[in-house]
A and B are shown apart, each in its own frame.
Chain A
């Protein structure tokens, strides 16, 4: 069973979003890291880059494959997790904490309301199995 923390929001692209005021912290879910396998490289944007909702903002590479990661929200990159350069395996080992990828200043904080709740994401996973 995938770990799906209650207090986070989710996207159908298997990202988690932690909203704090107008800043969203974004990473990939336990389900996503598990599907990818061992993550060996994470390609992230630069601080200040602007993205629309559902833009590709980077990629996660496992030994076997590369997967694009998409912004669940529009906005501007406020911070990126440089720690992943040296420890990309954090995405596997600790996806909801040290495996975070970007912090984004949301263009429209209301967008976060449209994201899935933990329960909705769980149902979504169950339905797509």
Chain B
């Protein structure tokens, strides 16, 4: 795909002006890192704050008296448990229990839900949702991905920075809750969520205000100061989420991977009633999974990468889904699918790094947990 055909977020110019190194990310022209580099961006987010353009994410409105029942029928988590102003993590599943996408479901009121889905899967998701939708569902579905920008401010200073821009008391918004309010005078959805393992917020607004908001975050976050906010690219977004052992679609999650295999049993509510994939998932829960996601760290020099094979006793037994250096933990870590008997803390494994078997050990996840 040539650069001209890549989709751009409303912050594309801003990224280039900041020296962002632009790459094709699932059809989007996105910054993989800025001038500071991935390690510094990662560390700054853990110790101060990081700013992320996540406008490429997809947004889908579901509105009407049947909205909750409809979304409940397509996703694994129990939408009836949400209250107004609350969001939860969930998965769209297919008939086999495989994950069509992972998503956030926001409840504005009992007739208004917002689904936030991955950028690269937005069209697939909307097609899937449309396919399962009929007039009998008593709700409308609308792909409004290009009507929102989304900016995430994450890290221990995130709340203080955002609080300078809004009269909405941020302390009152609990984790996985949100509020509608003004940010820098602009109508926004302020959501206490993120993908870094830090406290922080994701702010949704109309795309024409993206650059104004972005620049205010940088200014009020002290961008340029020694320990000020840094814009963070996709590379640090990935290492941050991996340290927090959060799943990435296309790596830990996919159409052939079920929530139970991906350690997402906690968002799979079989008792809530029927939903797409429920039967297959109930059967798998009964029978047990044949592979399970496990975290590991390297015990010998080497970096595991996505797709590398895992060996135990010279026998291939699994595959790495994500692997990377962990800049904050200063270890080389990864996630891999392993047979359940091997997916236990302390299990020694070997990662095939370009033909060389390098030692690693299964460790508890998340690798990184912030001090509260």
| A interface list, Cβ under 8 A from B | 37-38, 40-41, 43, 59, 61-64, 66, 85
Which residues does chain A contribute within 8 Å of B254, judged by CB atoms?
A: none
| Chain A at the B interface: SS class | strand
| A37–B354 CB distance below 8 A | no
Which of B33-41, B105-113, B188-196 contacts the other chain?
B33-41
Q: Answer whether A63 and B305 are a contact pair too, CB < 8 Å, given A37-B33, A40-B325, A41-B325.
A: no
| A41–B39 CB distance below 8 A | no
Measured in the bound complex, the distance between the Cα atoms of B325 and A38 in whole Å is 11
Which residues does chain B contribute within 8 Å of A37, judged by CB atoms?
A: 21, 32-33, 37-38, 235
Measured in the bound complex, the distance between the Cα atoms of B139 and A3 in whole Å is 60
Chain A residue with minimal CB distance to B325?
A: A40
Report which residue of A38, A59, A62, A85 has the largest number of chain B beta carbons within 10 angstroms of its beta carbon.
A38
| A63–B39 CB distance below 8 A | yes
B35 to chain A, nearest CB (A): 11
B239 to chain A, nearest CB (A): 6
Measured in the bound complex, the distance between the Cα atoms of B37 and A41 in whole Å is 16
Is B301 part of the contact surface with A, judged by Cβ < 8 Å? yes
B325's contact among A59, A63, A85, by CB below 8 Å, is which?
A: A63
Q: Which of B217-237 contact A (CB under 8 A)?
A: 235
B236 to chain A, nearest CB (A): 8
| Binary contact readout B14-32 vs A (1 if CB under 8 angstroms, 0 otherwise) | 0000000100000000001
Report which residue of A37, A40, A41, A63 has the largest number of chain B beta carbons within 10 angstroms of its beta carbon.
A63
Which residues does chain B contribute within 8 Å of A64, judged by CB atoms?
A: 32-33, 38, 235, 238, 324
Chain A residue with minimal CB distance to B354?
A: A59
Is B303 part of the contact surface with A, judged by Cβ < 8 Å? yes
| A38–B38 CB distance below 8 A | yes
Measured in the bound complex, the distance between the Cα atoms of B239 and A79 in whole Å is 34
Inter-chain pairs besides A41-B325, A41-B332, 6 sampled, C-beta below 8 Å: A37-B21, A61-B325, A62-B38, A63-B38, A63-B239, A66-B303
Chain A residue with minimal CB distance to B330?
A: A40
How many A-B pairs have beta carbons closer than 8 Å: the answer is 39
Is B302 part of the contact surface with A, judged by Cβ < 8 Å? yes
Is B339 part of the contact surface with A, judged by Cβ < 8 Å? no
| A41–B302 CB distance below 8 A | yes
Measured in the bound complex, the distance between the Cα atoms of B332 and A50 in whole Å is 30
Report which residue of B37, B239, B302 has the largest number of chain A beta carbons within 10 angstroms of its beta carbon.
B37
Is B265 part of the contact surface with A, judged by Cβ < 8 Å? no
Interface size on B, residues (CB 8 A): 19
B241 to chain A, nearest CB (A): 13
Is B64 part of the contact surface with A, judged by Cβ < 8 Å? no
Which residues does chain B contribute within 8 Å of A63, judged by CB atoms?
A: 38-39, 42, 235, 239, 324-325, 327
A92 to chain B, nearest CB (A): 8
26 cross-chain CB contacts under 8 A: A37-B21, A37-B32, A37-B33, A37-B37, A37-B38, A37-B235, A40-B303, A40-B325, A41-B302, A41-B303, A41-B325, A43-B302, A59-B354, A61-B303, A62-B38, A63-B38, A63-B39, A63-B42, A63-B324, A63-B325, A63-B327, A64-B38, A64-B235, A66-B303, A66-B305, A85-B301
Measured in the bound complex, the distance between the Cα atoms of B39 and A113 in whole Å is 39
Chain B residue with minimal CB distance to A56?
A: B354
Chain A residue with minimal CB distance to B33?
A: A37
Closest 3 CB pairs of A and B: A63-B38, A40-B325, A38-B39
Q: Which of B275-318 contact A (CB under 8 A)?
A: 301-303, 305
Chain A residue with minimal CB distance to B326?
A: A63
Measured in the bound complex, the distance between the Cα atoms of B320 and A66 in whole Å is 15
Measured in the bound complex, the distance between the Cα atoms of B325 and A85 in whole Å is 14
Which residues does chain B contribute within 8 Å of A41, judged by CB atoms?
A: 301-303, 325, 332
B30 to chain A, nearest CB (A): 13
Measured in the bound complex, the distance between the Cα atoms of B235 and A59 in whole Å is 20
Measured in the bound complex, the distance between the Cα atoms of B33 and A62 in whole Å is 12
Measured in the bound complex, the distance between the Cα atoms of B301 and A37 in whole Å is 20
Measured in the bound complex, the distance between the Cα atoms of B325 and A64 in whole Å is 9
Which residues does chain B contribute within 8 Å of A43, judged by CB atoms?
A: 302
B12 to chain A, nearest CB (A): 20
A61 to chain B, nearest CB (A): 5
Q: Which of B345-372 contact A (CB under 8 A)?
A: 354
Chain B residue with minimal CB distance to A65?
A: B305
Which residues does chain B contribute within 8 Å of A61, judged by CB atoms?
A: 303, 325
B308 to chain A, nearest CB (A): 11
